[in-house]
Amino acid sequence: MHSLQSPPYVLYNLTLATIPVVLGFLLAGWFKQRRVMRRGLAAFFWVLIFVPLCFIWLAFLPNTCYLLTEWRHFFTDSPLVQLRDTAVTPRQQLEVAKLGFFFLLYSGYGILCYALAIRPVASVLRQARLQPGFFAVPFFLIISLGVYLGLVVRLNSWEVASHPKAVWFSIVHVFHSPALLKVILVFAILLWILYEIVDAWFDGVLLRFRRRSSGSDSFKLGKG
């Protein structure tokens, strides 16, 4: 396997994709504590935890859909291209199929983490009587921008805190490049559509699970 897809590298990316899922559920859980921490020092402590947690979650969130871009190695890395182009025997073709299946699982995990990281936060917004759709445009634009910063500029999530100037200048560069900004906007729209699809899929899975659990989902034959 190509060095870029070595086990440590894959595990590193999978871990980065999992972090925002954990943070998303932590955010949802901490938000529920606001009812018992509404006054005085307790309220200040609640805000002191909640606000940084939001920023950390948002900073790590692009690592989920970043895994979608890992397909570029399958199509452009010389060793993998050569393997595909020279696959003649069944054994060689099986190796190519195994690589394709690996990237499918790899990116699929990122997509699942992407939706799972956002769903609890969207639920929090609805509990606060705020419509998630109202924040959709700037939200998905930030995620798309984050993927660009990681994929092209090669910045990591924690560099928002460790190298804020580098992050800021990279963002400014985007808004001074109309062509680049259009690409990021298009990708943001695609991320929005992707989330809506996967979110609906999760809703369907949960609904089916609840029906099965309650025993109300039974197979019925229509009458002829």
pLDDT band at residue 12 using 50, 70 and 90 as cut-offs: very high
In a domain, 186, yes or no: yes
Position 33 scores a pLDDT of 84
Position 217 scores a pLDDT of 54
In a domain, 184, yes or no: yes
In a domain, 221, yes or no: no
Average pLDDT for 217-222: 48
- Host domain of residue 82: 3-212
Bigger pLDDT: 222 or 110?
Answer: 110
In a domain, 190, yes or no: yes
In a domain, 208, yes or no: yes
Q: b/e map of 115-151 (b: 16 or more CB within 10 Å)?
A: bbbbbbbbebeeeeeeebeeeeeebbbbbbbbbbbbe
Say whether pLDDT at 4 is over 70: no
In a domain, 135, yes or no: yes
Bigger pLDDT: 80 or 14?
Answer: 14
Q: Is the dihedral of CA 152, 154, 156, 161 positive or negative?
A: negative
Say whether pLDDT at 184 is over 90: yes
Report d(CA 83, CA 97) in Å as an integer.
11
Average pLDDT for 166-184: 95
Report d(CA 84, CA 75) in Å as an integer.
9
In a domain, 222, yes or no: no
Average pLDDT for 65-94: 87
Task: Give the total number of structural domains in the chain.
Answer: 1
Position 114 scores a pLDDT of 97
CB 104 within 8 A of CB 10: no
In a domain, 171, yes or no: yes
